[in-house]
Structure 1
Amino acid sequence: MIELFGYTLSYSTLALLFVAAFFIGMAKTGVHGSSMFAVPLLAIIFGGKMSAGLMLPMLIMADLFAVKYYHRHANWSYLLKLFPSAAVGVVIGTWLGNIIDDEVFRSVMSIIIFISLAIMLWMEKANKENIPDYLWFAILMGTLGGITTMIGNLAGSVMALYLLSMRLPKNEYIGTAAWFFLAINLFKVPFHIASWHSITVDSFMLNLLCLPAIAIGAWAGIWVVKRIAEKYYRWLVIAMTAIAAAVMLV
């Protein structure tokens, strides 16, 4: 066992923490869905709500890597539609996090994501046009994204469904998602500190210890995305989103 910033961790647990940090970095630079593997790992080690607080600064660090690399590719028209409703979703998620069980929430969200994926796959197979870019659709997905990102940091799949529906090119998809999550994750910090008390000085120091693993994961994500053709990248995100939803259900 080892004592780190008020935490008593075994060496195997510390290794799992670094693995989770690697997946977070990889997800933010293009291999979306891989961070979902970090959610259960951190929940096993630290528990539901506390793991969400521990994960948040790690997500922000990874967001910074993604924004640095893909910032020129963001589509701000979509971001401006998403931000207001996502902020409302974070407030709702903060309230819900105090009254419902994490496991029930994850199960419901995984089912919703599976249904959405089924619709998307039908659209792909039938060569349907993209979902019309209506404001109500952006408001709905932004609100769901805000709620799910607050409870368990699970918004990656929701945003993947929205941005894939808009049929953004690979780099534009990553850049838009990077800016969205950087802004919304920074917005969540005061709620974690003041309402949930899930971010502390000790937890943040543990986050900083994970920074090298996040950086390696971010580099790995960029390396993978560069080697995937545009037409295959869309299917990679769909596959990773499906796996992520299955992980939530389990």
Structure 2
Amino acid sequence: MLELFSYSLDYTTLVLLFLVAFFIGMAKTGMHGASMFAVPLLAIVFGGKVSVGLMLPMLIMADLFAVKYYHRHANWYFLIKLFPSAAIGVLVGTWLGNIIDDQVFKTIMSVIIFASLGLMLWMGKANKDSIPDYLWFALMMGFVGGVTTMVGNLAGSVMALYLLSMRLPKNEYIGTAAWFFLAINLFKVPFHLFSWESIDLNSFLLNLICLPFIALGAWVGIVIVKRIEEKYYRWLVIGMTGLASVLMLF
């Protein structure tokens, strides 16, 4: 066992933590399905609610890498429509997390992952013109994204559904998502600190030792996204999401 910043971790747990950091880095630079795999891994080791707080600083670190690389490609027209309802969703998610126990918390995370998988499968079959660029749709997706990102850091698929339905090019899609998640993840920090108390100095120091693996994952994600074909990329995300749902459920 290793004693790190008040955490007692065996070597297997430490390797899983670094693997989660690597997946988060990959996810933020375009391999979005990787984050769906990271969420249940961390929840299995640390528990649902604790894992959400532990993951948040890692997500913000990875968001900074993504924004640095893709910031020129962001589409602010869509971001401005998403932010207000997403902030309300974060407030609702904070309230929800305060009234349920950890087992229910993990069950909700599993349901969200299953629903995300269904949404992505539906997106693969839906006519792109069937989802109009209406304000109500942006507000709904922003709200759902806010709730799911607060409850389980699981808004990736919600944002994928919205941004891909808007027919954004690959780099513009990644850049817009990067700015959205950086802003909303920073907005979540005070609620984790003062309401859930799921982030403290020890958890942040544990996050910092994961930074090299986040950076490595971000670089790998950039390289893969440049090379992978669109049809294979989509099915990779769907497959990883399905595996994540099974891990969370059992």
Please give the per-residue CA displacement for 1:129-174, whole angstroms capped at 9, x wherever unaligned.
Answer: 2510111111111000000000111111111111111111110010
Give the alignment of 1:145-224 within 5 angstroms: 145-224=145-224
Deviation at 1:233, TM superposition (A): 4.3
Deviation at 1:239, TM superposition (A): 4.8
Give the alignment of 1:1-250 within 5 angstroms: 1-100=1-100, 101-123=104-126, 127-129=127-129, 131-229=131-229, 233-245=233-245, 247-250=247-250
Deviation at 1:229, TM superposition (A): 3.8
Distance 1:94 1:104, change over 3 A: same
In 2: Cα distance, 1:190 partner to 1:14 partner: 27
Distance 1:197 1:93, change over 3 A: same
Deviation at 1:196, TM superposition (A): 0.4
Instruction: Report the identity percentage.
Output: 72
Distance 1:177 1:243, change over 3 A: farther
In 2: Cα distance, 1:221 partner to 1:242 partner: 20
User: Is the contact between residue 33 and residue 236 of structure 2 (CA under 8 Å) also seen in structure 1?
Assistant: no
TM-score under structure 1 normalisation?
Answer: 0.92
SS at match of 2:152: coil
Which has the larger displacement, 92-101 or 223-232? 223-232
Number of positions where the alignment pairs a residue of Structure 1 with one of Structure 2? 247
Which has the larger displacement, 167-176 or 227-236? 227-236
User: Is the contact between residue 113 and residue 241 of structure 2 (CA under 8 Å) also seen in structure 1?
Assistant: no
Distance 1:73 1:87, change over 3 A: same
SS at match of 1:8: strand
TM-score under structure 2 normalisation?
Answer: 0.92
Distance 1:111 1:26, change over 3 A: closer
**Which 4+ residue blocks in structure 1 deviate beyond 4 angstroms?**
230-250
Deviation at 1:27, TM superposition (A): 0.3
- Indicate the RMSD between aligned Cα atoms, in angstroms: 1.8
One-letter amino acid of the counterpart of residue 50, structure 1: V
Which sections of structure 1, spanning at least 5 residues, go unmatched?
none
Deviation at 1:242, TM superposition (A): 4.8
Deviation at 1:93, TM superposition (A): 0.1
In 2: Cα distance, 1:160 partner to 1:189 partner: 23
One-letter amino acid of the counterpart of residue 24, structure 1: I
